[in-house]
Amino acid sequence: MKTWKKNMEETKQHYIDWWNHKGIVLNMWEHFQEGVTPHADIPAPAPAKDLNQKWFDPEWRAEYLDWYVAHSSLMADMLPVANTQLGPGSLAAILGGVFEGGEDTIWIHPNPNYTDDIVFDPENAAWKLHKDLLRACKKKAQGHYYVGMPDLMEGLDVLAAIKGTDKVLLDTVMQPEVLEHQMQQINDIYFKVFDELYDIIREGDEMAFCYFSAWAPGKMTKLQSDISTMISEDDFRRFVQPFIREQCQKIDYTLYHLDGVGAMRHLPALLEIEELNAIQWTPGVGEPQGGSSKWYDLYKQILAGGKSILASWVTLDELKPLLDNIGAEGVHLEMDFHNEKEVEQAMRIVEEYRGSSSSSIDTNTENIKENTEMQNETIHVQTSQQEDEELKPLFDAIVGGKLEPAVEVTKKAIEKGVPPQDIINNYMIKAMGEIGERFQNGKAFVPQLLMAGRAMKGALELLKPLLQGNASATIGRVVIGTVKGDLHDIGKNLVASMLEGSGFEVINIGIDVPADKFVQAVQENHADILCMSALLTTTMTYMKDVIAAVDAAGIRDKVKIMVGGAPVNQAFADEIGADGYSDNANSAVKVAKQLIGAA
């Protein structure tokens, strides 16, 4: 293999050292083309006719990637690799999920024919597409560059993509044995798929991976469990760790993608996996990127645990301070380069550290661990000594997420003539408030919140017929949805459950909601509050369009507008003219009550 990268052998050695927890890799995930002398005279293909061709036409993508790599900078340890990804977690499409091409990524919708028995179908169209794409790219590459392994992903994240996130989280409580069986099914299929794709793309034993544009002298993969931000440490060790460990045992070189501050609590469980080689850190929206001094202690803990690190989106001014603080052994730097001059500057800095065995790693991790552990606070449940002991089990059932007991207690209360509003105000709302506080304090996680919402809704359904026509039955009416272009619903659904459990009537209009549908729902339901959610920075700006549409409809003075979601903050809410903002489901209730004067 004779690649377009002149120093490929040097880069290979840097990677081999890094996999063995030594030295530095100086790389960049995405390539840049501006000011780069092409490696070959390869013309760009005609623009894609549509999104379908852009993502799902193997021949067109092979031509485009051939041009792309030929015109990309390959300085330092930047790799000549064709990015063949078919969306994050494309194993989900192979297992029946539905592809949809977007402007910047590929969405994978749940499998409409999903059953709890997960089976690999060799005739699946998405599976054939994976192989056709890799073969087309391999043929076009002619040994000038590597064809990257798509981001197949694994485990809970894949199951969430084909089944739905909320259903998977509920399964951790309701049918854990089934969930464990499904995790093993997905792992078994993963190995079959990975091995067959590896045989297409490998160069000898070598391969490259699309995600983070990494190389290894043998089989390698990127592992993750982004859904782990929503589950407890115990559930991580039960439903994630064993299957990650199996992958690390069967694949030679493994890199775990640790995503978000909420996932940091699972680091000890990852460090327990002896076969895991390296951990990559993604801080998440609203946090400083990987070169920030905020993450030095985290990197030290990973290195002290015997794993290499991958720090992402490091800027040139952060490079030297980062290496001064964490050392120069087992460090993979994904830089934020804009031109080759910046690459040259970074190379000069890194050369000062290469070959040095000195390290400033503090192997005393006790203090480091304290930075990632959540505060332990005692939750005190304040209840009135005069409350009805017969209805106290309703509070306990909702907090405990037990549907059947919640329904049974509510039935008996109705039979005894307890006013529905008393049941809601004195037990349901207080119970949802309690689970919300536990969630906010790190004593409960998303599965527990979902289970509590399920129990509350089951009991509430018995009361709704008795409340019809009662103007005081709800404290306000809320329309809630995820904005156009965004298919995420778990956060929005949590907020909806908390609002409903706190006395609001909630009209949930779903995901990918255009402005006119928001306006229509507000008008038809005479809503007091309009809630919008977004999980992507590319979609949150649409919230401004919705507010403009509400204003154009002449109803802006009749409805309060709340916004939320991972990339949204108070400054953005103020900028677009929203009335309220919340960063979690529990505080959303407080904000909503304040907006209508019910706090």
What residue spans define the domains of the chain? 1-36+213-225+253-358, 41-71+80-204, 391-438+456-467, 474-599
Residues 191-209: what's their mean pLDDT? Answer: 98
Pairing verdict, β 98-101 and 106-109: antiparallel
**Helices 403-415 & 392-399, crossing angle to 10 degrees?**
160
Phi-psi label, residue 330: left if phi above 0, alpha if psi -120 to 50, beta otherwise: left
For 20, what's the count of Cα atoms within 13 Å in the CB-facing half-sphere?
9
Q: Write out the two tokens for 67.
A: 């041009």
What one-character DSSP code corresponds to residue 426? Answer: I
**Residue 471 confidence (pLDDT) above 60:** no
pLDDT in tens, 358-412: 444 343 434 434 444 433 333 333 334 334 677 899 999 999 999 999 999 999 9
Residues 492-499: what's their mean pLDDT? Answer: 86
Model confidence, pTM: 0.81
pLDDT of 386: 38
pLDDT of 285: 75
**Residue 99 confidence (pLDDT) above 50:** yes
What one-character DSSP code corresponds to residue 19? Answer: H
Query: Hey, how many other C-beta atoms are within 10 angstroms of the C-beta on 156?
Result: 30
pLDDT of 388: 62
Residues 175-196: what's their mean pLDDT? Answer: 97
**Per CATH, domain 41-71+80-204 is 3.20.20.210:** yes
H helical segments located in 240-385: 241-250, 267-271, 296-304, 316-326, 340-351, 366-372
**Residue 307 confidence (pLDDT) above 90:** yes
Residues 547-551: what's their mean pLDDT? Answer: 97
**Helices 585-595 & 429-440, crossing angle to 10 degrees?**
130
- Across the chain, mean pLDDT equals 90
pLDDT in tens, 227-282: 999 999 999 999 999 999 999 999 999 999 999 898 999 999 999 999 999 999 99
pLDDT in tens, 312-361: 999 999 999 999 999 999 999 999 999 999 999 999 999 999 866 444 43
- pLDDT level of residue 47 (50, 70, 90 thresholds): very high
- CATH architecture label of 474-599: 3-Layer(aba) Sandwich (3.40)
pLDDT in tens, 480-494: 999 998 877 778 888
- pLDDT level of residue 5 (50, 70, 90 thresholds): very high
**In CATH terms, are 41-71+80-204 and 474-599 the same topology?**
no
Q: How is the chain split among helix, strand and coil, in percent rounded to 5?
A: 50, 15, 35
Cα distance between residue 449 and residue 401, in whole Å: 8
pLDDT in tens, 558-570: 999 999 988 899 9
pLDDT in tens, 157-172: 999 999 988 899 999 9
